A = this chain, B = another copy of it.
Amino acid sequence: VTILSGVQDGLTLGTPIALLVTNRDARPDEYAALTAIPRPSHADFTYAAKYGIRSQSGGGRASARETVGRVAAGAVAERMLACEGVTVTAWVSSVGEIETGAVDAATVTRDDVDRTAVRCPDPGAAARMEALIVQTRAEHDSLGGTVTCVCRGVPAGWGEPVFDKLDACLAQAMLSIPAVKGFEIGSGFAGTRLRGSQHNDAFCLRGGRLGTVTNRSGGVQGGIANGEPVIFRVAFKPVASIGRPQETVDYEGRPVCLETRGRHDPCVLPRAVPVVEAMAALVLADAALLQARMAFGRPAGPS
């Protein structure tokens, strides 16, 4: 990554930071065969429908390669958040039907996560995930899964009411990541099966301030952080690019059997972890800057 502007001697100048990453490993000829055929569950067709023109170099802006910019920007956001004591940690919580055992969201660290190649802090589950990925690759097929993310140290008060709720902004950020099909915060979909008396997070006094005994809210109430860990889960569909032949049609509607090559990963989950972290950090940094406005006319700082 090249820093084009905004930084001098390791300090930000208060002006936009432009980061440039050059794609040195493009192989457009691998995509040449795809000029006539929209890949199933890819964005080839929808970009063509929208713009009337398609990039010839693979997925164009719909390629997951664009996430490098998110991760680079997220690194800057994380430095900002660190000033406020906020940390963001994500991990692979499922691959296909394999789920992690218990992960303690209050203590899990990035080191714990990075200890396994699949970025799952439960070593047993990680081993099974890895085996499944190897097997699926051999079958020229692909896998989906989920990433769980916890943001600790988020001060009570971050997040805006009504339309730009903190969880709403996180949802948009996560759904903007390629291949994401779902988002849930706190108790999420499973919580819909509970009664209110089972689900409510009672308040308690903890460390001199109000906390909640449980955290089914996922750290957000009414769109505003309540000081508990913000915890959410993101669903990634199985990778659309597979080596197996697929019966589909070309842009003219003629039946074809598509066999793609190219470098396709059978499971993006491990690589999705830093993208989820980066997008969460960017949302939190935005919330922090908006909340800093509350400092207006007050003697003390934002938090």
Chain A contacts to B: CB under 8 angstroms: 4, 8, 11-15, 20, 38, 40-43, 45-47, 49-56, 59-62, 66, 80, 83-84, 94, 96-97, 136, 139, 141-146, 156-159, 161-165, 167-176, 178, 181-189, 191-205, 209-210, 212, 216-218, 220-227, 235-242, 244, 246-249, 251, 253, 266, 288-289, 291-302
Looking across the interface, which residue of chain B has its beta carbon closest to that of A144? B192
Count identical subunits in the complex: 4
Given A142-B196, A165-B175: A246 and B202 interface contact (C-beta under 8 Å): yes
Q: CA separation between A199 and B42, bound complex, in Å?
A: 12
Partner of A41, one of B176, B184, B199, B299: B199
Q: CA separation between A83 and B297, bound complex, in Å?
A: 6
> Shortest beta-carbon distance, A55 to chain B, in Å?
6
A224 CB contacts on chain B under 8 angstroms = 43, 46-47, 49-50
Partner of A235, one of B83, B192, B240: B192
The list of the 3 closest CB pairs from A to B, nearest first, reads: A43-B222, A14-B51, A142-B196
> Shortest beta-carbon distance, A282 to chain B, in Å?
10
Q: CA separation between A169 and B169, bound complex, in Å?
A: 9
